[in-house]
Amino acid sequence: MVVWASMNIKEVAARARLSTATVSRTINQSGLVRPGTAEKVKRAIRDLGYIPNTQARALVSGRSQMFGLIISDIVNPFFPELVKSFEFAAIHRGYEVIVANTDYNSERMGGCVRRMIERKVDGVAIMTSELDRHLLAELSHRQLPIVFLDVGKLKPLISNINVDYSNGIREAVQHIVSLGHQRVGFISGPLTLKSARTRRSAFLKCIGACGFSEGQRSVVEGNHKIDGGDSAMTALLSLPKPPTAVLTSNDLTAIGALRAITRVGLRVPEDVSVIGFDDIELSQFTQPPLTTIRLSRDELGRRAFDALFEMVAGQRRAGQEIKVSTCLVLRESTAAVKKTP
C-alpha cells in the first residue's frame, strides 16, 4: 500500500482508469455502477488506501455529519456516560460528535454555540439546563435542529427531553414512609442552576403530596458536589430535631452526606437513611451502597441523538417531547427508622 499526503478521488479514478464520478458513485453505493466496474474501483481504493475527505463531502452536500453536544462539565460524573451513549449512537450512524463544556458558565455557552456553527454541525444537543434566549435565536435562525434537556418549548426543529422526576421521587418518598420515617431532609443543588431548582421543586411537591407537613421537612442548599453535600448534611444534623432520612439532588451530594454522617459517629442506614439521585456508577461502591433514584444517562444520550437524527433525516421537522422516566434503586443506605431512644 502506497500512500501520500494528497490522496484524493482523482488518484483513485486514474488508477482505476475511470472518472471521478464513477468512483464517487461506487463509494456512495448509488447502484448505478456495473459490478465489474465497481470491483475495479474498490481495488484501486484498497491499493491506494484511499479514504474520502469528509470536509469536501460536507461542503457540497451541505451536511457535515457532525452533531454538537453541549454539556456542563465532563468532569462531573453525570456526563461521561451521557457523552458515551450519545457518541455510540452517533458513530453507528456515521456521525461525529463535538463535545463542548460550558463549565456552568453561561458566558461560555456563547463560545460553544459559535464553535458549533463554525463547524457547521447538523444539530446540537444542549444537555445543560441553562440557555440564553439570544443564543437560542442564533441557533434557531440558522435552522439548526436542537434538542434540550428539561428546558425549552417545542418548536419546529426543537425537541425537548423531559425527565419525569415524579415517578422516581414518589417511589423514594413512599419507601421512606414505609420505613416509618417522620422527618425528612432534602439537600438541593446550587439554586442558581435551573436543573437544581427543577429537582428541588419536584422533591418538595412529592413530599407534600405524601403528607409531610412543613415542620416535618427541612431543606438545605448544597452544590452538587461532595463537599457541599458534606456541609449541608452537617447543617441538617445540627438541627434541634434532625431528619432521620435525607434525599439529595445528586449522588455526589449523597456521598458527601454519607461522609458527614459517619464523621459525627452516626451510622447509615441505622441512624440516618440517605437517598441519592442519578445512580452514577460510583454509587454502587459507596459505603454502604447507595439507594438512589436512577436517571439513565444511557437513555438520555440515546434519545437525544435519535431526536436530532430524526430531524436531520427529515422524518419529522416538528419538535417532539420525549419522556425519560426515573425509578428508585434499592441498595443499602436506607432502613427502618430507629425506635425513639
Partner DNA sequence: TAACAGCATGCAGACGATAGCGAGAACCAA
Partner DNA sequence: TTGGTTCTCGCTATCGTCTGCATGCTGTTA
> Angle, nearest 10°, between helix axes 20-27 and 9-16?
110
Interaction of residue 5 with a copy of itself, rule CB under 8 A: yes
Q: Does 29 bind a copy of itself (CB under 8 A)?
A: no
Q: Which of 83, 135, 151, 327 binds a copy of itself (CB under 8 A)?
A: 83
- Give SS3 for 101: strand
Give the list of residues 6+ apart from residue 149 with CB closer than 8 angstroms, or none: 125, 126, 127, 128, 129, 160, 161, 163, 195, 300, 304
Query: Is residue 6 near DNA by the rule CB under 7 A?
Result: yes
Dihedral sign from CA coordinates of 136, 140, 146, 151: positive
Q: CA angle, 264 as apex, 261 and 267 as ends, to 5°?
A: 50
Q: Which of residues 51-110 bind DNA (CB under 7 A)?
A: 52-53, 56-57, 59-62
Residues 280-339 that bind a copy of itself (CB under 8 A): 281-282, 284-285, 287
Residue 34 interacting with DNA (CB under 7 A): yes
The entry of DNA, a copy of itself, none that residue 25 binds, CB within 5 to 8 Å by partner kind: DNA
| Beta strand pairing call for 123-126 and 158-164 | unpaired
User: In the set 25, 224, 297, 303, which binds DNA (CB under 7 A)?
Assistant: 25
Contact pick of 37, 216, 320, 325 for DNA (by CB under 7 A): 37
Footprint (CB under 7 A) of DNA, residues 241-260 = none
How far is Cα 33 from Cα 130, in angstroms, rounded to an integer?
50
Shortest distance (Å) from residue 58 CB to DNA:
8
Paired residues of 326 in beta bridges: 295
Among 22, 72, 249, 283, binds DNA (CB under 7 A): 22
Site for a copy of itself in 120-159 (CB under 8 A): 120, 138, 141-143
For residue 261, give the H/E element and its range: helix 251-263
Among 117, 135, 177, 210, binds a copy of itself (CB under 8 A): 117
Q: What would the grid cell of residue 83 be?
A: 457523552
| 3-state DSSP assignment of residue 241 | coil
In the Cβ-directed half-sphere of 140, how many Cα atoms lie within 13 Å?
Answer: 16
The site map against a copy of itself for 270-289 (x = CB under 8 A) is -----------xx-xx-x--
Smallest gap, in angstroms, from Cβ of residue 217 to a copy of itself? 27
Give the number of residues in contact with a copy of itself, rule: CB under 8 A. Answer: 53
In angstroms, give the least distance from the CB of 102 to a copy of itself: 12
Phi-psi region of 194 (alpha: psi -120 to 50; beta: other; left: phi over 0): alpha
CA neighbours within 13 Å on the CB side: how many for 237?
21
CB 189 to DNA: min, Å: 40
Identified binder of a copy of itself from the candidate list 21, 32, 91, 313, rule CB under 8 A: 91
Per CB under 7 A, does 4 bind DNA? no
Which residues of this protein are in contact with DNA, per CB under 7 A?
Answer: 6, 8-10, 17-22, 24-25, 27-28, 30, 32-34, 36-38, 52-53, 56-57, 59-62
